Copies of this chain bind each other. A is one copy, B any other.
């Protein structure tokens, strides 16, 4: 390790942390309806990065709602706040030098754009991945039985049933999860990250 990277007077900067860890921080943001496959894809990418020596950290709605967002419900205002906090935590993960793999339905274009803008203002790369799956297919999968409960009116404001989902107009990556295999999806993600040098030239992905 080259300790000359740290100025003896200044604070440790994001660049210092990135040099130490050997990669640049970046957020890969997965948006899509419930059961579209966001978390499944994020988990597979997390593993693919890990075995290549890249440090990432996965954030998702289920997870954050158990901790920092346990005081939020599903009203329009709370969904907005859920996405805002998720974006801020993603930035913290990146600032620490890691890759944030963030899966959130994040149904509103404006909220996603706020998260992108807030990343860009901090000089952090934000990659929007649209996990595109028809409602029919998502409803057929329904691993948590949520669509069934929404159809039975047990859950209100369910995205895709009685609450809107605004698809990205120009996502960085478009994955059609009802026709692509998980392997194809991960390959497409790794290819994008590598070709665009998202994690920096020092990253193990580039070597």
Contacts and interface: CB of A to CB of B under 8 A. Distances in A.
A117 interface: no
A98 B17 CA distance: 11
Nearest to A95: B57
Contacts of A89: 68, 89, 92
Nearest to A96: B57
A16 interface: yes
B85 A68 contact: yes
A11 interface: yes
A67 interface: yes
A89 B91 CA distance: 12
Contacts of A180: none
B17 A57 contact: yes
B68 A1 contact: no
A50 B20 contact: yes
A176 interface: no
Interface in A74-99: 81, 85, 88-89, 91-93, 95-98
Nearest to A91: B67
Interface residues of A, number: 33
A51 B3 contact: yes
A12 interface: yes
Contacts of A98: 96
Contacts of A93: 92, 96
B91 A46 contact: no
A55 interface: yes
Contacts of A12: 43, 46-47, 50, 58
Interface string A163-178: 0000000000000000
List 10 A-B pairs, minimum CB-CB distance, nearest first. A68-B88, A57-B96, A67-B88, A12-B50, A3-B51, A1-B53, A12-B46, A11-B43, A68-B85, A12-B47
Interface of A: 1, 3, 6, 11-12, 16-17, 20-21, 43, 46-47, 50-51, 53, 55, 57-59, 67-68, 71, 81, 85, 88-89, 91-93, 95-98
